[in-house]
Each structure stands twice: as C-alpha cells, then as structure tokens.
A = this chain, B = another copy of it.
Amino acid sequence: MPKRKIAVVITARPSYSRVKTVLSAIQEHPDLELLLVVAASALLDRYGSAVNYIEKDGFVIAAKVFNVLEGENLTAAAKTTGIGILELSTVFDNLKPDIVVTVADRFETMATAIAASYMNIPLAHIQGGEVTGNIDEKVRHAITKLSDYHFVASESAKERVIKLGEDPTMVFNTGCPSIDLAEEIIKSKILPFDPYEKYGGVGAKPDLSQGYLVVMQHPVTTEYKDSRKHIEATLEAIYKLDKPTLWFWPNVDAGADGTSTGIRAFREQHQLPNVHFFKNMEGKDFLELLQHSDCLIGNSSVGIRECAFLGVPVINIGSRQNRRDRGGNSVDVDYLQEQIEVAIIDSVQKGKTISSSIYGDGKAGLQIAVKLAELPLQFHKTIMY
C-alpha cells in the first residue's frame, strides 16, 4: 500500500515550533510521507526565517510559497490570504496530498484551509476550539467548520468543537504538540547554551546567573492602532525595574509596525543597560530559556501553554489570551505600567509553580501521526444538528 501523503503547511516561526514533534512523528511513521510546505512569514528574514531552522533540523521542503503582501495593515492581511489560496491550490494540485494539515489560527492559515477544503482534500486542524476573544477567534472557528479532523489541545477545546456541530468521532484531545518539547526539557538544571553567543541580537548583555525576565509581546489584531501605546507600557515597566531582561521582537501581524516602531523609538530615547533584544530562537532553546527564567512577560501563548507545564510564572498582558484555559502559573494584567511592574515583582518573589497538564502531557505529535495514518479519508460532512 502506498504511503499516505500528508501535507503540512507552516506559515510562521511560532507555528513551526508548535508542531515540530508532529512533523518528526509523521516523518518517522512507516505509513506516512511528509510533504512540508513553507510559506508566508516563515520564509522572511524579519520574522525570524523559520525556514532556516526547518532546514537545519533536517526536514526536506516540498514547496516554498512567498505570499506576504507588504503593508502590515489589515488590507495586506486579507491579500496575503488571497495570494496564499491562489498559490497553495497549485501546490496541492501538483503534490496531490491525501490529507492537508493546518495549524492554529493565524490569519493566513485560512488559505491552507480553503485551498484544501475546496479541492476536496481531507483537512486536519491542530488547535481548534480555543477561545480568546479577538479576530483570531473568527478565523479559528471558521477553520473548524472547514476541517474534517480536529486535533485539539484541551478538554474544553474538545467540547467547544463538538458544540460547533462537528462529528465527535472526529475530534481528538491529543494535547498541544508544543508541550512535547517542554516535556523533553522540564528536568534541565542549567541553561545549556549562551544565548548571546548562539543568537546574537542587539543591546546590553546582562548577567543571567542571578535570574532574568523574558519579554515577548505581540500586537493584537483587533487593537492594532494602539499597538505602540501598548508596547510602551511594558517598555516603561521593564525600564523602571531595571533587571536582566531578554526581549523578543514581535512576529508579523497587522500592527507589528506599531510594536516594532515603539520598541525602536524607546531604544533611541532611553538607555537600557539590562536589556538584550533577540529576533528569534529555536523552539527548544527558547523553552530552556523560559525554564530557567524568573518570569515571562507579554501576551505569547507560550506563557499559557508551555509555561503552565514548566511551572514558570507568567505576567499575561492585555486581551490576546483572553478566555484561554489557564494553569496556575499566570497573572493577568492590563496595558498599564504599574500593574505590570507590581505583577512582575510578586511573581518573581513567589517563584516556580507546579506543573499543569491542562494542555497535554507531551505525546501530542505521536498521537496525531497515528491518527493521520488511520483515519478514514473523507472530506464530506454535515453539521450534527
């Protein structure tokens, strides 16, 4: 029997980190052939060139698709998605996958979902059913309605996908594959690399041996006009605290410009002798960095997921993770300097929390690959009510 051809489309650096163990598990499965498609910001320098890590990790790329339209506004996001559909259709038409896998809820993942579902290729969605309360939610649930198989990351997500009228026999709580990596490093005792040496970056090089903060704050699509103001609250708080801090640039989204511009302007106007800026980091190294940090600040989903599993305290700022399931490791604050500051001080004092398996126990990649090999190939469905 020929192997099932599984096309996975990676469109951004964080999505790659999230599903890396899924890719490995597909590749190693005797009945599956991996067709890896790399597109959108995953190909671009200024969003961290996920493609370089992908190649370094030894994955063979079946096709690359440049489809990010410049503008960093909402019009560009829509057009990027349109170009994505146009080109991914050609890619699927030439590669002829048996199943297409789309990841999470970034706006451009809709392109994968539409190309596959319109071409009657069974579509698997990883990480549906979650809630956050911003634009991502429109995209996420619309993709659920286009998908045939659902690999969700928590029990509440599973329930929600079923409430959306999906066939319960096609909804699987595998946990989040991002936890798979966390599981591998949870017992590490010391930071096993020098981040300055390995990843370059700009700014000061504070001593990390007595603890440090990590910041990762992305613009929120529905609030993109305020993204500069939002980042400034965080910048002020970090500036005042003046502790060793490792700061990661935001990923591409409408509004990235406001966030990036805010950071650049702040750096021109202030001395930040304790802050170093990174463009990006391999997923596993980033988890090691978090594992040994005092606290993560920002609005990355890593704080809600991997950090819950790792027991790392998180200051979650603003609305981006609204209504997502939480472990006991996070505190929610508003875009206000003082709140952020107080919350950091508190969290650092309290230290590590206990590990939560609310987003899985570290076997998601394997479980997903097994299902992809076994599930009936179908693309025809109807709502259950």
Whole-angstrom distance between the Cβ of A41 and the nearest chain B Cβ = 8
Q: Is the CB of B145 within 8 A of A138?
A: yes
| Alpha-carbon distance between A49 and B180 when the two chains are bound, in angstroms | 45
Known: A45-B257, A93-B66. A118 touches B382 (CB 8 A): no
The listed residue with most B CB atoms (<10 A of its CB), out of A63, A84, A114, A222, is: A114
Number of copies: 4
Stretch from A159-167, A182-190, A297-305, A362-370 that touches the partner = A159-167
Q: Is the CB of A87 within 8 A of B85?
A: no
Q: Which residue of B lies closest to A140 (CB)?
A: B145
- Chain A: residues with Cβ within 8 Å of the partner, total of 71
| Alpha-carbon distance between A142 and B132 when the two chains are bound, in angstroms | 18
Q: Is the CB of A63 within 8 A of B94?
A: yes
| Alpha-carbon distance between A143 and B139 when the two chains are bound, in angstroms | 10
- Contacting residue for A85 out of B81, B163, B385, CB 8 A: B81
The answer, yes or no, to whether A65 is at the interface (CB within 8 Å) is yes
| Interface flags, A70-103, vs B, CB<8A=1, else 0 | 1100111111011111111111111000000000
Restricting to A137-164, which residues have a CB under 8 Å from any CB of B? 137-139, 141-146, 160, 163-164
Q: Which residue of B lies closest to A133 (CB)?
A: B382
A: residues with CB less than 8 A from B are: 43-45, 63-71, 74-79, 81-94, 107, 110-111, 114-115, 117-120, 131-135, 137-139, 141-146, 160, 163-165, 202, 222, 257, 268, 322-323, 379-383, 385
- 19 inter-chain pairs at a CB distance below 8 angstroms, sorted by A residue, are A44-B71, A64-B93, A66-B75, A68-B69, A74-B120, A78-B85, A78-B89, A78-B118, A79-B85, A79-B86, A81-B118, A82-B111, A90-B90, A131-B383, A134-B380, A141-B145, A141-B165, A160-B383, A163-B385
